Amino acid sequence: MGIRKILFYGPHFPTFYGLHADRTRQKIDHVLSLIAAVERVPAKFLKHVEGEKGLYEVRVRAGREAIRIFCFFDGDGSLILLNAFKKGSAKTPAAEIVRALKARNSYLEEKRKGRPCDE
């Protein structure tokens, strides 16, 4: 069993994941498995989003593609995946950060009401 559980919230991550080739999905799976299994995750794979308290990005390099998956840690230590995108420039699109923050707030509200998230 891993150190942390990885869950997703909403349709954004599963939709993004399903649009990619097997090789890219395998790379995403590898990085998520590593994050689940190790105590200290290298910043190469998981990094705090500056200026956004509690928001992180999973960083996946698949060939020439840079994939980012926004996430946050739930109070029980689970990592909740929110939305994902292919990074096209050095700067993270503000709209993606806003989408992630809205999803996180929605998750926390759902949890407060006792509704579980997806695995």
Reduced to 3 states, what is the DSSP secondary structure of residue 75? coil
State the pairing for strand pair 79-87/6-8. Answer: parallel
Q: 7 Cβ partners below 8 Å, 6+ apart?
A: 74, 78, 79, 80, 81, 117, 118, 119
pLDDT at 117: 63
What percent of the chain has a predicted confidence (pLDDT) above 90?
A: 71
Q: What is the pTM of this model?
A: 0.90
Distances (CA, A) of 105 to 10, 25, 110: 12, 27, 9
User: Class assignment of domain 6-112?
Assistant: alpha beta
Q: Across residues 9-21, what is the average pLDDT?
A: 95
